[in-house]
Amino acid sequence: MQISSVITLRTVGRRIRPTLLFLATAALTQFSHAELNVMVAIDPSTPRDVLSGVYNDVTVTLSKALGQTVRVSRSTNFADVLRATRTGENDIYIVPGQVAASALSHGYALIGATGKQETFVLVVNPRLKTVTQLKGAKLYLAQEDSIYSYMAKGLLNESGVSLKELGGLQYGNTSGAGLAAVLMGVADATVTRRADFESWIKANPGKAAVLVESKPVPAGLSVLAGKTLTDPERVKLTQWVTGSGPGQSGLGQFSTSVDSAAYAYIGGLGHFTPLELPGVQRVTADAAAELVKKGAVMVDVRSEKEYRVKHIGGAVWVPYLEKSAKDTTFDPKADDFSALDKLDKSKPAIFGCNGAECWKSYKASKVALGKGFKSVYWLRGGLPEWESSNLPTASN
């Protein structure tokens, strides 16, 4: 529906005429875009005929469901699609979980998803017994920025190993080639779906082992709507997803009941701090509170604005100005932690910030250790864990 006339709202005193207001609201509510841009992104290992089928099916069924023209683009270049979610280039996305997580963080709304949640595993040559032994080893992954790469970086990061510390990193275009590479000795490790590994290991018993397994993440495809869509368009899109409207998606069984925590988890992969920091004792919020009672100094390394809004009760503000990479191999010379000099090195210090995804406290702990602090503690969970433990907070 197009609005072909201009409605002038007359007022009587300070009251708008109800009839004209209703007509204006109804016209604007029913207004729809002349054309909607839709991006479909699928793993590049998917056969070309399937990719073409998905593209054509979506174009036909979604146009029918929305009652208007849609322009569907398809891509196997995840780096480009991820960039597009940040700049809001499309009205609708039909994408894997890691791309959906990026879209969610940039204002898109999740409509539904296919498939159940699944876990990924870090698979290695049996001679490797710990993740730290991967330093200097060769890793094979599916396409860069694919879900396999996301999972690999996240699992390694949590284990304290950076991709930069590997002896070699090879990307391919097929998801199953990683297991074959480990079998043939071309690679020392790969990351794959737990289900795929279990099927493969039955035919190759003893040829590989699992070192680390992820939390469940969204499987299949997720459908997201941008802020550009009107309410009626969102309703029709939801009907298309659920199969209750005039068009069927043809992409499998969708569900509008989704686990937001799974998207938050996959969105943070590759950004989480390691689980341990050599030479530094990681503590829980409760343990940190006990240490403070015994004289330890709680140190908040976040920005001044964050500290003033809310901070751990009794914490001192010692900002860590971060410019280095969020990686275990970060260069402290790129950062500014000169504020650390005002602390007493002889007193136990506990460093914390905004949780497991905040690298400032990790870096601050490591720098403090290198500058001769006698007792360094790291509250990895930071302020979020402190609050969840019902411990006191303060603000300025």
Contact 177, 196 (CB under 8 A): no
| Co-location of 242 and 102 in the same domain | yes
| Co-location of 82 and 133 in the same domain | no
Q: What is residue 27's predicted lDDT score, i.e. its pLDDT? A: 41
Contacts of 177 (CB under 8 A, 6+ apart): 140, 142
How many domains does the chain contain in total? Answer: 3
In a domain, 47, yes or no: yes
Containing H/E element for 393? strand 393-394
| Co-location of 111 and 234 in the same domain | yes
The SS3 call for residue 41 is strand
In a domain, 324, yes or no: yes
DSSP code string of 206-223 = TS-EEEEEPPPB--S-EE
Contact 390, 310 (CB under 8 A): no
Q: Rounded to whole angstroms, how far apart are CA atoms 128 and 209?
A: 9
Looking up residue 357, the CATH number of its domain turns out to be 3.40.250.10
Contact 221, 96 (CB under 8 A): yes
| Co-location of 243 and 357 in the same domain | no
Q: What is residue 23's predicted lDDT score, i.e. its pLDDT? A: 42
Contact 273, 153 (CB under 8 A): no
Look at residues 69, 94, 70 and name the one whose alpha carbon lies nearest to residue 81. 94
Q: Rounded to whole angstroms, how far apart are CA atoms 312 and 354?
A: 11
Per-residue pLDDT of the chain in tens (396 residues, 90 and over written 9): 333 323 232 333 434 344 444 444 444 434 456 789 999 988 766 555 445 556 568 888 899 999 999 999 988 888 788 888 988 889 999 998 889 998 998 899 999 888 788 999 999 999 999 998 999 999 998 877 778 888 888 888 888 888 889 999 998 877 678 999 999 999 999 999 999 999 999 999 999 999 999 999 988 889 999 999 999 999 999 988 887 766 566 666 777 877 888 998 888 776 788 888 999 999 999 999 999 999 999 999 999 999 999 999 999 999 999 999 888 889 999 999 999 999 999 999 999 999 888 899 999 999 999 999 999 999 999 999 999 999 999 987
- What's at 16, amino acid-wise? I
The SS3 call for residue 82 is helix
- What's at 22, amino acid-wise? F
| Co-location of 193 and 289 in the same domain | no
> Using the 8-state DSSP alphabet, how is residue 56 labeled?
H
| Co-location of 297 and 387 in the same domain | yes
Q: What is residue 261's predicted lDDT score, i.e. its pLDDT? A: 87
In a domain, 347, yes or no: yes
Look at residues 242, 342, 348 and name the one whose alpha carbon lies nearest to residue 294. 348
Look at residues 289, 317, 308 and name the one whose alpha carbon lies nearest to residue 379. 289
- β-sheet bridge partners, residue 299: 316, 351
| Co-location of 234 and 374 in the same domain | no
| Co-location of 181 and 225 in the same domain | no
Domain that holds residue 88: 32-115+219-268
Supply 104's token pair.
């969610």
| Co-location of 296 and 383 in the same domain | yes
| Co-location of 225 and 209 in the same domain | no
Residue written as token pair 């870090």: 122
Query: Which spans in the chain are helix H?
Result: 18-30, 48-66, 78-87, 97-104, 147-158, 177-184, 194-203, 231-242, 260-268, 285-293, 304-309, 360-370, 382-388
In a domain, 18, yes or no: no
Q: Rounded to whole angstroms, how far apart are CA atoms 78 and 43?
A: 8
- What's at 319, amino acid-wise? P
Q: What is residue 26's predicted lDDT score, i.e. its pLDDT? A: 40
In a domain, 2, yes or no: no
Contacts of 124 (CB under 8 A, 6+ apart): 134, 137, 182, 188, 189, 208, 209, 210, 211
C-alpha atoms less than 13 angstroms from C-alpha of 7 in its C-beta half-sphere? 16
Q: Rounded to whole angstroms, how far apart are CA atoms 85 and 107?
A: 9
> Using the 8-state DSSP alphabet, how is residue 269 labeled?
T
Residue written as token pair 């999972």: 151
| Co-location of 262 and 125 in the same domain | no
In a domain, 13, yes or no: no
Which pLDDT tens digit goes with each residue over 73-128? 988 888 788 888 988 889 999 998 889 998 998 899 999 888 788 999 999 999 99
Q: What is residue 270's predicted lDDT score, i.e. its pLDDT? A: 67
Query: What does residue 305 show for φ and ψ, rounded to 5 degrees?
Result: -60, -45
Looking up residue 226, the CATH number of its domain turns out to be 3.40.190.10
In a domain, 299, yes or no: yes
In a domain, 7, yes or no: no
| Co-location of 233 and 285 in the same domain | no
